[in-house]
Chain A
Amino acid sequence: MASPMRIRAAAKDGVTEVRVLMSHVMETGQRKDSSGAVIPAHFITELTAKHNDRLVLAAEFGPSVSTNPYLAFKFAGGAKGDKLVVSWVDNKGDSRSDEVQIA
């Protein structure tokens, strides 16, 4: 199972700033191991962020994103105490969803 994300979300003047750190190998599928065998691709393909039940961000990820990706974005709205959920799915069907309260 994938490790938890580190999510921080803070609302200020009607805008919420979200910062997410994900734990993922983000293997490109282009690398070889020491015996010359291709290391299979393994990377996040889709990510969504929901404020309460409203979708505020939908993103497509790919193999060019680094290991342990960091994502920061802002959206209009959001208040202290509201729920924010970030979820991702990868090309192997693994997924992870974490929730925080907006600070």
Chain B
Amino acid sequence: MRRQLLFTALGAAIALTSPLAGAAGDELNFDAYREMLADGNPAELLEMEGEELWRTARGPKNATLEQCDLGRGPGVVEGAAAQLPRYFADTDKVQDLESRLMHCMEAQQGIPSAEIINGQFLKGERGKLAALVAYVVTHSKGKPIAIDLSHPRVKEMYDMGERAFRYRTGAMDFACSSCHSQDGKRIRATQLPNITKPEGAAEGWSSWPAYRVSNSQFWTMQHRLWDCFRQQRTAEPVFASDVTIALSVFMAGKGNGAEARWPGVKR
């Protein structure tokens, strides 16, 4: 036990003090590993499930989602995720993919949003929402991320997201920026992108939602953010709440122009 602790501590010290020494070699290893995983990404199974869900009449209103407007017109899935979050006039809100799908599920199918907001990740309607996310993001694979920051409401969310990103809170007095504002850092086998730079923001935004091989789970961006709040040792964010969308606008907007690689695959 003590040896293990010492080893972990040493590992952490090496990772933190000499990012350059390890970085080049590690990066190559991780990339080769990810490449091996990318062919046959089990997220495709979720995508199939999501496509089926999109077309199946469900909920109290027994309707499909085929009339859902993700921003590019009713029923248009192609390229929609790459332009989200965006402002929607019908809800008078800036919405990310998940909150927009949740809106469609309620408006068209009569599935109450509260059921998803109060639910758990990977379960029930929130689990089904994740499959829908897998379906929709796959149709933006290879498309450039294009967030319309010229819209005043979107810009407002961007600014709020940047503030939230740097806001220190919680038991450790961490902000997102405590872990994500330097180059070449990692925690254990995971590289931490520098989200304060466009390349880092793009890296983070464009590689989630992703399938995690270590636990065989598909995680959406809301799930990723929830886990980072947890890593920050602060209060869990409410599903699809304004702060999660603001952080999303900040990351996506800063990553504008980069190519979406959805769905990703992670260790």
Q: Name A's B-contacting residues (CB within 8 A).
A: 3-4, 6, 19, 21, 23, 66-68, 70, 72
Contacts and interface: CB of A to CB of B under 8 A. Distances in A.
A19 B45 contact: no
A21 B216 contact: no
B242 interface: no
Contacts of A66: 213, 216
15 contacts: A3-B48, A6-B45, A19-B39, A19-B40, A21-B40, A21-B42, A21-B44, A21-B45, A66-B216, A67-B42, A68-B45, A68-B216, A70-B40, A70-B42, A72-B40
Contacts, number: 27
Contacts of A72: 39-40
Given A66-B216, A67-B216, A4 B48 contact: yes
Interface string B37-78: 001101011001100000000000000000000000000000
Interface residues on B, range: under 10
Nearest to B45: A23
A72 B213 CA distance: 18
Interface string B14-51: 00000000000000000000000001101011001100
A30 B178 CA distance: 39
A3 B216 contact: no
B267 to A, nearest CB: 13
Nearest to A25: B216
Contact of B49 (A3, A19, A21, A70): A3
A49 to B, nearest CB: 15
Give the top 4 A-B pairs by smallest Cβ distance, nearest first: A70-B40, A67-B216, A68-B42, A23-B45
